[in-house]
Amino acid sequence: MKKDIPQLKVEDLALAVVPRDEALWDVYVINLKDEPITNVLIQSRGYGEINNEAVETTTLRHFFERIGPLQLHKIEPIQKEVFSLTNEYWVSFRYDGYMYDKKYVFVVGSINEMNFTPIPFLNEKGVMIR
């Protein structure tokens, strides 16, 4: 029954957006666990309005067989032009015999220098969601 399915919370996983140059930034998934995660599937998309018109980006899917403990992995580059949209990343992975998933949402205006924080394992600053 539904009550028998464990409701597991995603912990020790983060997404970060880090500037590469003036126009292009990189998105990373960060495994903050002491053990690897496997079968990592990430779906990304952007949506919102530009000039009072509904806009939706192409949905992209990325698969990583394994992300080691205390490591990060680059997901994709992202253009600065889409920061005026909500950028959503849905992450699913296997850990300790269970499947986990969590949606990470960078709302409009959240990807900017005012929200910069040090990014673990990268020695750079960017915007991070845990």
- Rounded mean pLDDT, 24-53: 96
Q: In the chain, where do the E strands start and end?
A: 13-19, 24-31, 37-50, 53-56, 60-67, 71-79, 86-95, 98-106, 117-119, 124-129
Sign of CA dihedral 32, 63, 98, 101: positive
Residues 6+ apart with CB under 8 A from 21: none
What's the pLDDT tens digit per position in 70-111?
999 999 999 999 999 999 999 999 999 999 999 999 999 999
How far is Cα 24 from Cα 8, in angstroms, rounded to an integer?
35
Query: Does domain 22-129 bear CATH number 3.90.550?
Result: no
Taking the model in full, what pTM does it have? 0.93
The share of the chain scoring above pLDDT 70, in percent, equals 98
The answer, yes or no, to whether residue 1 has pLDDT greater than 70, is no
Averaged confidence pLDDT in the chain: 95
